[in-house]
Amino acid sequence: MLSKVVKRIAISIPVLIGVVLLIFIMLRVVPGDPVATMMGEHVNPAMIEKISAELGLDQPLYVQFFKYVGNALRGDFGTSYRLNRNVTQIILESFPHTVKLSVLAALVAWIIGLVAGIVAAIRQNRLLDRLFMGCSLVGVSMPVFMTALVLQYVFAFKLQWFPISGFDSWQAMILPAIALGWNSAGSIARMTRSNLVEILQNDYIRTARAKGLREHGVIIGHALKNAMLPVVTMMALQISSMLSGAVLTESVFGVPGIGRLSVNAIETRDMPLLQGTVIFTTIIIILGNLIADLLYNVLDPRIREGA
Amino acid sequence: MNESVVLDVKNLKSHFFTAKGEVPAVDGVSIQVPAGKIIGIVGESGCGKSMTAMSIMGLLRYPGRVVDGTITLDGRDITHLKPKELSQVRGNELSMIFQEPMTSLNPVYPVGVQVREAILLHQKTTKAEAKQRVLDIFQAVGIPEPEKRYYNYPHQLSGGLRQRVMIGMAMVCRPKVMIADEPTTALDVTIEAQILRLMKRLCAEQGTSIILITHNMGVVAEICDYVYVMYAGKVMEQAETFELFEHTKHPYTQGLLKSIPRLDEKADRLYTIEGVVPNLLHLPKGCSFCTRCDQAQERCFTEKPGLYAAADGHGVRCLKYESGVKMDGE
Ligand SMILES: Nc1ncnc2c1ncn2[C@@H]1O[C@H](COP(=O)(O)OP(=O)(O)OP(=O)(O)O)[C@@H](O)[C@H]1O
Ligand SMILES: [Mg+2]
């Protein structure tokens, strides 16, 4: 088990290096001088050159790269051009908001998704099943920002049940969490249902019934754990789609998290900040996948043993 | 057959409601199981043996359901029990072993825990006590190193051991009747003999009756007290084992017996009953076996035979024995 974890982490390192390299090069080949953007259009060229030199942007790309990686390894991701503060610090300040939003959204997704999926499987092809699967289809097909805008318009603007933006009270957190979680809830519900329906055909389910378990006992005790194996993996994999969704949700609802931070960084060509947020997000996604794998291991004795 | 009857199935009909039509998988089956005896049900594949068993257990699933008949267990009608009452009977007074030992255990729980669950569901005991009983039953069904096997997952056990676990699970609450649906078909022959002997011994010890489903006439001859021969959802012949083998009456049963390979007779090729099992949706108008029967007469194609008594406790569904007393109400 431990060796497996180590192996997985080792595999992740090249991925991480690749991402750093990619983002580093991309930011430097796109048109538009970051210093010019930062200073405004009407600054004289000499000034721009001087600042570029100060920031080390005049050096060859590979020098810049190794310097950056060297500092990053020591936890220093540079200084934000616009905010003029340490990037690591900025990220660590806004990250808790993103975590809170994602956790709430994940809770929404898990609870709604699982309950709807289980109920739909039990009431297969009946009214509730159709209703839930209809809703989840809408959930899966709607882009996050659209869900966010619709929720904001209806419940915050028209009905005024919730604040339009911000993230400082629990009322303010509800809409962003639902907006971000809805999509995942839809896929979890669909997957839970289809897995359960399939699992319920198995011979060991018949055995469970034959030994005297009631139907709910059969489902909770014998079907769910088997049906959950792929779902758990999917739920952990959705950490990545949660994060990309968080970018949009945070922008719509003005949540001061990593997502809004990177959008701002793009708009202002704040290279160190953008690099920092991208690398940070990558690490989170890699960790998410690792957790998914490990969970699968814990749940399924057949895999646990093969390790 | 006047011993006390623990399980009395009367005129059981189970149909599958499919897009192509109503399939009469079990078509008026009556079975009596005396206390402590082993009853055999034999017949070719698809004749409705498993569906009869599933109907008795209340395990038929959509699109199949019991449409007629009564099932009485120890004087209590269990045909239309509520889910809660049914769950108290299943696994407790009435249990079942399935045809597929490899897939009948849940892959994500240790086998011991799965057997223990059967005890905890039906009896008020502590987990520790229940575990001890599982270890005892593992010992009884011949699982070596019960203590270690208790924590094994199904994939770590061979087919034979898994089937022993299933038997343990089915026996652990000392049921009145245990249905064993081809418990040894998936296993090799040496294990088959061991398992059958084991079942016979355990049931004698616990006073449990067995319904043994098989298509192996040899197995029937060896351990059953009474036999029902099924064809296309109906009982074609029934008799005490010795009587059935010595005075075989029905052409279908004769065919089944002839198709057993024998060591003491030279034959160039194995006998098989001509033709195929008819589609249950398009059964012949008369006797369902008429299309394959080598003794069929004209009226067999138009008249449905009843079940006639050819001797004491020996019923035959064939017009040749029409002179006997009708044993079913049809
Ligand atoms: N889901 C279903 N839909 C329609 N018909 C079904 C269904 N399940 C079973 N049947 C019908 O029930 C009949 C009896 O099936 P059953 O499983 O009882 O046979 P069996 O005697 O146990 O055969 P085997 O020896 O192969 O186990 C089949 O011939 C089939 O026509
Ligand atoms: Mg069968």
Residue B243 lies in a domain: no
Q: Is the pLDDT of residue B68 over 70?
A: yes
Same domain as B177, residue B133: yes
Distance, CA B50 to ligand 1 centroid (Å)? 7
Domains and CATH numbers, chain A: 97-306 (1.10.3720.10)
For residues B197 and B286, state if they share a domain: no
Helices A258-267, A224-253: inter-axial angle, 10-degree rounding: 40
The pLDDT, as a whole number, for residue B89 is 96
Q: Based on the fold, state whether residues B177 and B125 are members of the same structural domain.
A: yes
Q: Name the least confident of A178-192, A229-243, B62-76, B177-191.
A: A229-243
pTM above 0.80, yes or no: no
Assess whether B120 and B81 both reside in one domain.
Answer: yes
In total, the C-beta contacts within 8 angstroms joining chain A to chain B are 69
Contacts of A207 in chain B (CB under 8 A): 98, 104-106, 114, 166, 169
Considering its fold, how many domains does chain B have in total? 2
Domain boundary residue, one of B192, B216, B231 = B231
Cβ contact B98–A226 (<8 Å): no
**B92 neighbourhood in chain A, CB within 8 Å:** 212
For residue A212, the chain B residues in CB contact (below 8 A) are 87-92, 118, 121-122
Residue B245 domain-assigned? no
Closest ligand 1 atom, residue B48 Cα: 18
| Tally of helices (H runs) and strands (E runs) in chain B | 10, 12
Task: Give how far B19 is from chain A: nearest CA, Å.
Answer: 16
Q: Which ligand is nearest to the CA of B180?
A: 2
- Mark the ranges of chain A whose per-residue pLDDT is less than 70: 1, 31-32, 38, 40-41, 239-240, 299, 301-307
- Cβ of B45 less than 6 Å from ligand 1: yes
Question: Measured from the CB, is residue B53 less than 6 Å from ligand 1?
Answer: no
Neighboring chain B residues of A301 at a CB cutoff of 8 Å: 107-108, 153, 155
DSSP assignment of chain A equals: -HHHHHHHHHHHHHHHHHHHHHHHHHHHHSSS-HHHHHH-TTS-HHHHHHHHHHHTTTS-HHHHHHHHHHHHHTT---B-TTT-SBHHHHHHHHHHHHHHHHHHHHHHHHHHHHHHHHHHHHTTTSHHHHHHHHHHHHHHHS-HHHHHHHHIIIIIIIS-SS-SS-SSSHHHHHHHHHHHHHHHHHHHHHHHHHHHHHHTTSHHHHHHHHTT--HHHIIIIIIHHHHHHHHHHHHHHHHHHHHHHHHHHHHHHT--SHHHHHHHHHHTT-HHHHHHHHHHHHHHHHHHHHHHHHHHHHH-HHHHHH-
> Are both B105 and B48 inside the same structural domain?
yes
Q: Same domain, yes or no, for B208 and B294?
A: no
Are B270 and B222 in the same domain? no
Same domain membership, residue B160 and residue B79: yes
Looking at residue B265, its pLDDT comes to: 64
Q: Which residue has its alpha carbon closest to ligand 1 atom 28? A: B46
Full residue range of the structural domain in which residue B294 is found: 254-330
pLDDT digits (tens, 9 = 90+) for B16-56: 999 999 999 999 999 999 999 999 999 999 999 999 999 99
**What confidence score (pLDDT) does residue B85 get?**
95
Does residue B14 sit in the same domain as residue B120?
yes
User: Do A212 and B104 lie within an 8 Å CB cutoff?
Assistant: no
Mutation for B interface: A211, A229, A300, most B CBs within 10 A: A211
CA of A210 vs chain B CAs: smallest distance (Å):
6
Q: Hey, is the C-beta of B124 within 8 angstroms of any chain A C-beta?
A: no
* Contacts with A221 from chain B: Cβ below 8 Å: 117
Q: Measured at the alpha carbon of residue A253, what is the angle toward residues A154 and A239, in degrees to the nearest 5?
A: 110
The answer to whether residues B174 and B26 belong to one domain is yes
Mean pLDDT, rounded, for B71-82: 95
Asked if residue B223 belongs to a domain, the reply is yes
Please give the pLDDT value at position B1. Answer: 45
**One domain for residues B314 and B216:** no
B24 lines ligand 1 (CB under 6 A): no
**Residues in B 143-162 with any Cβ partner in A closer than 8 A:** 153, 155
Domain containing B214 — which CATH number?
3.40.50.300
Q: Is residue B236 part of a domain?
A: no
Cβ–Cβ gap A212/B92 under 8 Å? yes
In a domain, B318, yes or no: yes
Regarding whether B64 and B200 lie in a shared domain, the answer is yes
